[in-house]
């Protein structure tokens, strides 16, 4: 397994565990989940943190830290809409 594949698998497991712990799940559409995780890895490599792909990175660390996936809005969005904004997590 390459380093890139290992990074992907580690992040996938992290988010699966987070979802299970919080009573929701990852999007069952594998293509969507894979795309979002790939974007999270890309953002981590570019910005140093796994910022949500659906949130703008401003460069202001105190503002941006709220948008590290899973972001502070995630649970509320799932509760109200049945999914988070980027559709990585669903009820």
Q: State pLDDT tens for residues 57-79.
A: 999 999 999 999 999 999 999 99
Distance CA 29, CA 45 (A): 25
Helix (H) or strand (E) holding 17: helix 3-22
pLDDT of residue 24: 95
Q: State pLDDT tens for residues 22-60.
A: 999 999 999 999 999 999 999 999 999 999 999 999 999
**Residue entry with tokens 């497991």:** 13
Number of domains in the chain: 1
Domain range for 35 is 3-90
pLDDT of residue 1: 83
Record the tokens describing residue 9, joined without a space. 């698998």
Of the candidates 11, 3, 49, 14, the one whose C-alpha atom is nearest the C-alpha of residue 58 is 49
pLDDT of residue 67: 97
Whole-prediction pTM value?
0.91
CATH code (residue 40): 3.90.460.10
Confidence band (pLDDT; 50, 70, 90) for 86?
Answer: very high
DSSP assignment of 35-57 = HHHHHHHHHHHHHSS-B-TTS--
């Amino acid at each position: 397994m390459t380093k890139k594949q290992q990074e992907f698998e580690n992040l996938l497991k992290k988010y699966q565990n987070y979802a299970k712990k919080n009573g929701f799940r990852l999007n069952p559409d594998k293509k969507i989940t894979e795309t979002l995780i790939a974007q999270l890895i890309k953002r981590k490599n570019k910005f140093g943190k796994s910022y949500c792909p659906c949130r703008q990175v401003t460069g202001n660390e105190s503002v941006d830290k709220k948008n590290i996936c899973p972001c502070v809005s995630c649970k509320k969005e799932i509760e109200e809409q049945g999914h988070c904004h980027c559709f990585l997590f669903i009820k």
